[in-house]
């Protein structure tokens, strides 16, 4: 019954809302937490993870890097931080999902993708059984980055709707 | 303790951020980071040149996984112990790591204290 209430409250992000932790500490570098701010970036950076197992699909993670364009930030450090923070978050997501539903999914290593490739993936997403998204914020000592997770998957296990 | 008497550690993770974080956590006279590798192949090459007491291995890496690498290390490098790390904490991954011969498993993100406790537990097992 609790699951039904959650599904009505977050019709667009049932699995992400329920199995992604409210916040995750990224070592001493930052915190990744759920957010109500809608992702709307002029310039963004995308990372793709594949999921395989009883759940087949992909997760595209986007970061708003509009404010970084004219600054002296170390891009390679920021990119490495984005990749690892999402790796940690999604690893925790799949671990929670398996503990609570017994549905098992494995995560690939991250792949940086272009805006064009992301658009192409999202065009196909509505034809896939599970298509959810969730807004997040990555808060570091220097900055706060708005982020978006898009979860596109097909369940191989019948208990997953 | 000088470097000759410190414990020799290799860090294997395809994430630059993770390697740097672990390396920072282990900055101490007690541990000597003998190298960092972004893949299993790089790790094997380093181990052929330099002996390690402990190898810290991430599970998800391109081409050869951390579980396969753990198997290779245990089979080919005597007196080298493996600590497996991963953002995935699923039971089957932990079991795969143990089955491959890992001495310990830590889920990411971990604290410096957790990492050092794990390393010290492994050191205690071979000293």
Q: What string of H, E and C letters represents the secondary structure of chain A?
A: CHHHHHHHHCCCCHHHHHHCCCEEEECCCEEEEECCCCCCCCCEEEEEEEEEECEEEEEEEEEECHHHCCCCCCHHHHHHHHHHHHHHHHHHHHHHHHHHHCCCEEECCCEEECHHHHHHHHHHHCCCCEEEEEEEEEEECCCEEEEEEEEEEEECCCCCC
Give the number of A-B residue pairs with CB atoms closer than 8 Å: 57
B65-104, pLDDT tens digit by residue? 999 999 999 999 999 999 999 999 999 999 999 999 999 9
Residue B99 at interface with chain A, using a CB cutoff of 8 Å: no
pLDDT at residue A107, as a whole number:
94
pLDDT category at B1 given cuts 50, 70, 90 is low
Write down the residue that tokens 């498993």 correspond to: B105
pLDDT at residue B52, as a whole number:
97
What's the gap in Å between the CA of B127 and the closest CA on chain A? 30
Residue B83 at interface with chain A, using a CB cutoff of 8 Å: no
ipTM of the shown complex: 0.89
> What is the rounded average pLDDT of the residues A155-160?
63
Residue B114 at interface with chain A, using a CB cutoff of 8 Å: no
Contacts of A115 (CB under 8 A, 6+ apart): A44, A46
List the structure tokens of A92: 């925790």
CB contact under 8 Å between B60 and A27, yes or no, is no
CB contact under 8 Å between A104 and B92, yes or no, is yes
pLDDT at residue A158, as a whole number:
55
pLDDT at residue A3, as a whole number:
43
What's B34's DSSP letter? E
CB contact under 8 Å between A98 and B87, yes or no, is no
Closest CB from A29, A83, A104 relative to B15 = A83
A116-151, pLDDT tens digit by residue? 999 998 888 777 788 899 999 999 988 899 999 999
CB contact under 8 Å between B17 and A84, yes or no, is yes
Q: Cα dihedral angle (A149, A150, A151, A152), rounded to 10 degrees? A: -160
State chain A's mean pLDDT as an integer. Answer: 85
pLDDT at residue A2, as a whole number:
36
> What is the rounded average pLDDT of the residues A100-121?
92
CB contact under 8 Å between A95 and B107, yes or no, is yes
């Amino acid at each position: 019954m609790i699951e039904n209430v959650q599904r009505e409250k977050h019709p667009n992000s049932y699995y992400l809302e329920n199995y992604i932790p409210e916040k995750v500490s990224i070592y001493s570098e930052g915190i990744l937490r759920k957010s109500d701010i809608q992702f709307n970036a002029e310039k963004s950076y995308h990372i793709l993870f594949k999921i395989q197992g009883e759940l087949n699909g992909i997760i595209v993670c986007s970061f708003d890097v509009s404010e970084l364009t004219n600054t002296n930030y170390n891009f390679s450090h920021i990119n490495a931080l984005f990749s690892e923070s999402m790796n940690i978050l999604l690893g925790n997501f799949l671990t929670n999902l398996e503990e609570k539903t017994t549905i098992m999914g494995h995560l690939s290593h991250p792949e940086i993708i272009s805006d064009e490739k992301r658009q192409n993936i999202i065009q196909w997403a509505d034809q896939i059984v599970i298509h959810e998204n969730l807004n997040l914020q990555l808060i570091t000592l220097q900055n706060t980055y708005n982020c978006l997770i898009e979860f596109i998957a097909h369940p191989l296990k019948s208990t997953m709707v | 303790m000088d470097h000759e008497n410190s414990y020799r550690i290799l860090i294997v993770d395809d994430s630059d951020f993770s390697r740097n974080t672990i390396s920072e956590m282990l900055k101490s006279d007690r541990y000597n980071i003998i190298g960092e590798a972004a893949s299993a192949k790089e790790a094997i090459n380093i181990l052929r040149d330099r002996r390690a007491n402990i190898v810290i291995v991430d599970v998800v890496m391109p081409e050869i996984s951390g579980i396969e690498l753990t198997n290779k290390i245990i089979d080919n490098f005597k007196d080298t112990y493996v600590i497996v790390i991963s953002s995935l904490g699923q039971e089957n991954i932990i079991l795969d790591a143990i089955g491959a011969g890992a001495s310990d498993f830590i889920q990411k993100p971990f604290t410096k204290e957790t990492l050092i406790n794990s390393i010290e537990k492994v050191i205690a097992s071979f000293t």
